[in-house]
């Protein structure tokens, strides 16, 4: 359904935009219907840039992103609108998406104006009720309210309901739960799991490994813009090969186990230590398990 092939993004930065910042380098992965893929990496690793490119909020510098076989870079007005009917994003800070001056349900009304101008009031209200019920929101509690009258979790669910009004097939969920408290997090995570059951594909962008593990069928580990390891979540989490993935896993606090510097030592890997801007290509190390590391590739030595 969604496919990234050798996608890179270079930002022009610095005085007179003369420096290149390689935010994303040669990233390839696929997202199938009804599948949750976690995109995991530390801050600045390029996760949001990938989400934004998928949503055509910024253009890829090179490589292609295809949706149902069509290169999204070629989409123009009508076809782009149709793309957004199928693919939507929800982002980290729900408060910043809402204009405090307007009632929160304006985000739903705007969808009606753009995508359903001919729909009558009764039919529209039915659609809104269905979308709200899919995200476990009570219309009486959220409609006609200002953003400050709603919690972060309610606003985040309202944004997911907005996406559902469009019958989307792909949701890019970029750090959607990082700003929510623990109990609301579980609600939104379970909601994403429900959406998956309904056949939606979800790209779950997070820096939090435990959240990625909870939801995802497949996992992509990103470091400094490059994919260092990817594959079935059970393989990536159960048998991590790249020193960076191991470091990430070792840095998750575990009950009764004391953190020590040794835990976080990635081991002797030149690629991990310096990352000269290319690194080895992804190589298969198991069933649905790829790693970009000499350590995982028997023919090359990790020094
Ligand atoms: N519009 C932009 N112009 C210039 N540089 C940018 C722009 N957007 C992002 N970057 C840079 O690109 C790199 C990747 O940023 P990105 O936001 O994609 O990372 P991230 O993994 O999502 O990080 P975070 O989790 O902190 O949001 C960073 O070095 C960032 O500073």
Tell me the per-residue pLDDT of 206-235, one tens digit each, with 9 for 90 and over: 888 877 777 889 999 998 899 999 999 999
In a domain, 60, yes or no: yes
- Ligand 1 atom at minimal distance to the Cα of residue 46: 18
| pLDDT computed for residue 169 by the predictor | 92
Q: From atom 25 of ligand 1, which residue's Cα is the shortest distance away?
A: 43
Give how many domains the chain has, as a whole number: 1
Q: Quote the CA–CA distance of 174 and 92 in Å, as a whole number.
A: 6
Containing domain of residue 123, as a range? Answer: 2-14+23-96+103-225
| pLDDT computed for residue 94 by the predictor | 73
| pLDDT computed for residue 303 by the predictor | 39
In a domain, 64, yes or no: yes
Which of 47, 57, 60, 176 has most ligand 1 atoms within 8 Å of CB, for mutation? 47
Q: First CA to last CA across the chain, in angstroms?
A: 39
| pLDDT computed for residue 271 by the predictor | 47
CATH of the domain at 64: 3.40.50.300
In a domain, 10, yes or no: yes
| pLDDT computed for residue 222 by the predictor | 92
Q: From atom 3 of ligand 1, which residue's Cα is the shortest distance away?
A: 11
- Ligand 1 atom at minimal distance to the Cα of residue 45: 21
ipTM value for the complex: 0.96
Look up tokens 């970009």; give the residue.
Answer: 292
Q: Quote the CA–CA distance of 135 and 149 in Å, as a whole number.
A: 18
Under-50 pLDDT residues of the chain: 262, 264-266, 268, 270-271, 273-274, 299-301, 303
In a domain, 273, yes or no: no
In a domain, 57, yes or no: yes
């Amino acid at each position: 359904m969604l496919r990234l092939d050798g996608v890179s993004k270079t930002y022009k930065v610095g005085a007179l935009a003369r420096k290149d910042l390689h935010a994303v380098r040669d990233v390839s992965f696929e997202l199938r219907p009804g599948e949750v893929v976690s995109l995991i990496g530390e801050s600045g690793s390029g996760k949001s840039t990938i989400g934004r490119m998928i949503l055509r909020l910024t253009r890829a510098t090179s490589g292609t992103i295809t949706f149902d076989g069509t290169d999204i870079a070629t989409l123009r007005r009508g076809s782009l609108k149709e793309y957004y009917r199928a693919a939507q994003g929800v982002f980290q800070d729900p408060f910043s998406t809402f204009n405090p001056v307007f009632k929160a349900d304006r985000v739903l009304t705007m969808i009606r104006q753009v995508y359903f101008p001919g729909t009558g009031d009764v039919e529209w209200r039915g659609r809104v009720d269905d979308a709200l019920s899919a995200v476990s929101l009570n219309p009486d509690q959220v409609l006609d309210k200002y953003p400050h009258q709603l919690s972060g979790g309610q606003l985040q669910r309202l944004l997911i309901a907005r996406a559902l009004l469009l019958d989307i097939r792909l949701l890019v969920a970029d750090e959607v739960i990082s700003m929510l408290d623990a109990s609301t997090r579980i609600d939104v995570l379970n909601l994403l799991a429900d959406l998956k059951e309904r056949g939606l594909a979800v790209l779950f962008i997070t820096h939090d490994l435990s959240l990625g593990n909870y939801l995802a069928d497949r996992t992509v580990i990103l470091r400094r813009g490059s994919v260092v390891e990817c594959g079935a979540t059970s393989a990536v989490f159960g048998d991590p090969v790249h020193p960076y993935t191991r470091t990430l896993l070792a840095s998750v606090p575990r009950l009764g186990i004391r953190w020590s510097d040794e835990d976080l030592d990635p081991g002797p890997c030149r690629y991990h230590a310096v990352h000269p801007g290319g690194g080895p290509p992804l190589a298969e190390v198991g069933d649905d398990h790829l790693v970009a590391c000499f350590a995982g590739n028997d023919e090359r030595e990790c020094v």
